Structure 1
Amino acid sequence: MEDCVLQDPNLKLAADSNQVLNYKRDQCNYITQLFGQQLPAIKNGFFNIHMTKGIIVQPHWHTNVTEMIVVISGEVLTSVFNPFTQRVMTYHLKPGQVSILPKGWFHWIIALTDHAYLLAIFDQPTPDIVFGSDFLRCIPKEVIARAYCVNEHEYAKAVAPIQESLILGPPPGCCIREESGCFQANERYPDMESLGALSGAGWHPAF
């Protein structure tokens, strides 16, 4: 099959993945991207993700892509909910290590160190993303109460701070100490084992 992109006389085979900002929490925690819109010849797509200790890529899932996490610097925990075993699988990754987040599986990532830098590489040029924050804030409280026997007024109060799609959390000012505009982890989760335990069964130490 002929590839029309490669036959374009204005073909580009290089691009700068730092130029397009996808999301910025603060100057230390942000995401840039390189997708098909920026480089039509690309056959995959990826995020550059920069995080400081304690920051989380909030729970979400993708409807059209499988994701591979590659750690460049720092250490992170990646967690994914396995719908077949009904278990959370969590991996502690160091530089050069990878984990796979299958298409449609709910997942999240927590930075264990400052200066964490990772690539989130997708198997399609552009991913669809469903954010957990949107799920929480948009489902009517009456539906939550009927579905799960949760007090609707308590639920509405609990999710009230979520006013928009959140990608890197927690939100600034969320009862967590901040200095110089950069996130400083508090003492609630003092070690990586505790962070792994937050994800339930299936935690694995570094390789």
Structure 2
Amino acid sequence: MATSYMDYSSPSAQFTYDLSNNTFYKKDNQNYINVLSIKQLNTLRNTSLLDIYLSTGNVIEPHIHQNASELVYCISGAAVVSLINPFTKELRNFPIQPGQVANVPQGWWHYEIA
């Protein structure tokens, strides 16, 4: 169970996890998402990680994370990360390529297109 305080010297502190053990969504063998959060890695705190495999033209539909920010890191190919700023209602599109990241603040609607 997740806790707001983590004793990093505790024997129950988890520092590694195999993302392939936690498929969140699978459309087919080319398009799937593995997820990592505090539920899988108790030392992670309020950050989540999505390991997303998308072929060109596929979309991660608009969604929101109430309890964590999201950092989108492109390893290969390219993607457009789109955010809706909740304060200005502005839609922002951020194209990213390998080695680039986009940060999605906690509580912001967003989606990604490969």
Q: Given the two structures, how large is their TM-score scaled by the length of structure 2?
A: 0.82
Contact 1:6/1:41, CA 8 A, preserved across alignment: no
Aligned pairs (5 A) from 1:2-21 = 3-4=6-7, 6-8=9-11, 11-21=13-23
Contact 2:37/2:48, CA 8 A, preserved across alignment: yes
Q: Select the structure of larger CA radius of gyration.
A: 1
Matched residue type, 2:76: S
1:86 is paired with a residue whose SS is: coil
Which residue of 1 is the match for residue 76 of structure 2? 73
Q: 1:102 aligns with which of 102, 105, 114?
A: 105
Paired residues in the alignment total 109
Q: Distance in 2 between matches of 1:103 and 1:109?
A: 16
Which residue of 2 is the match for residue 35 of structure 1? 37
Gaps of 5+ in 1: 112-207
Q: Distance in 2 between matches of 1:13 and 1:57?
A: 28
Give a deviation string over 1:14-34, Cα, whole Å, max 9, x none.
Answer: 221111111101111001122
Matched residue type, 1:109: E
Which residue of 2 is the match for residue 87 of structure 1? 90
- The Cα of 1:76 is off from its aligned counterpart by 0.3
Give a deviation string over 1:142-193, Cα, whole Å, max 9, x none.
Answer: xxxxxxxxxxxxxxxxxxxxxxxxxxxxxxxxxxxxxxxxxxxxxxxxxxxx
1:52 is paired with a residue whose SS is: coil
Q: 1:25 aligns with which of 24, 27, 30?
A: 27
Contact 1:66/1:100, CA 8 A, preserved across alignment: yes
Matched residue type, 1:32: N
Contact 2:48/2:69, CA 8 A, preserved across alignment: no
Q: CA RMSD in A?
A: 1.9
Q: In percent, how many aligned pairs have the same letter?
A: 32
Contact 1:5/1:40, CA 8 A, preserved across alignment: no
Instruction: Point out 4+ residue stretches in structure 1 off by more than 4 angstroms.
Output: none
Query: Would you tell me which structure has more helix in proportion to its own residues?
Result: 1
Q: Distance in 2 between matches of 1:73 and 1:34?
A: 20
Matched residue type, 2:102: S
Which residue of 2 is the match for residue 48 of structure 1? 51
Q: How has the CA–CA distance of structure 1 residues 83 and 14 changed in structure 2, closer, same or farther, with 3 Å as cutoff?
A: closer
Q: How has the CA–CA distance of structure 1 residues 89 and 40 changed in structure 2, closer, same or farther, with 3 Å as cutoff?
A: same
Matched residue type, 2:111: W
Contact 2:7/2:13, CA 8 A, preserved across alignment: no
